[in-house]
Structure 1
Amino acid sequence: MKIMPNQVLKDKGISQNKMAKDTGISTTTLRNLNHNRTTRISFDILEKICIYLDCGVEDILCVEK
């Protein structure tokens, strides 16, 4: 699985730093997620991202085959 909030951020014109400030998610965590340098994500963080970006999980997650 791969998480890709960067595309949604780009489409909405929001920077990672602004999202970090607004959601309380650390910039390091967001950077690691955007660069696919993580092996897990908590439901809490996933929920914060989806609520903030007003999107569904399917918009930021994909399954790599």
Structure 2
Amino acid sequence: MRIHLKEILEERDISLNQLSFRAEMQRTQLRNYRDNKIQRLDIDILKRLCYVLECDLHDLIEYIPNDTPYNK
């Protein structure tokens, strides 16, 4: 899974501080999403980001198949 938050912020010239204010979220949490350092996605956070950034979920995240199956 890859989160494209960094690219979207750069394209729209939005700083992490601005996003934090608009989304009413902590910068630390947003930084983890921006840097792809999260273990589990939170659908409420994704919905909020999509709303604030006016984008679709498929713009924000990309599924990258894992080489190793989960059920081994």
TM-score normalised over the length of structure 1: 0.90
| Aligned-residue CA RMSD (Å) | 1.0
Task: Compare CA radii of gyration and give the structure with the larger one.
Answer: 2
Other-structure match for 2:61 = 61
Segment of structure 1 superposing worse, 48-57 or 35-44 = 35-44
Deviation at 1:28, TM superposition (A): 0.5
Moved over 6 A (4+): none
- Name stretches of at least 5 consecutive residues in structure 2 with no aligned partner: 66-72
C-alpha separation in 1, matches of 2:9 and 2:37: 18
Match of 2:16 in 1: 16
Which letter maps to 2:27? T
Normalized per residue, the structure richer in helix is: 1
Q: Mind listing any 5+ residue stretches in structure 1 that lack a counterpart?
A: none
Instruction: Give TM-score, length-normalised by structure 2.
Output: 0.82
Aligned to 2:44: 44
Of all paired residues, the percent bearing the same amino acid is: 29
Q: How many residues align?
A: 65
Code of the residue aligned with 1:39 in structure 2: it is: Q
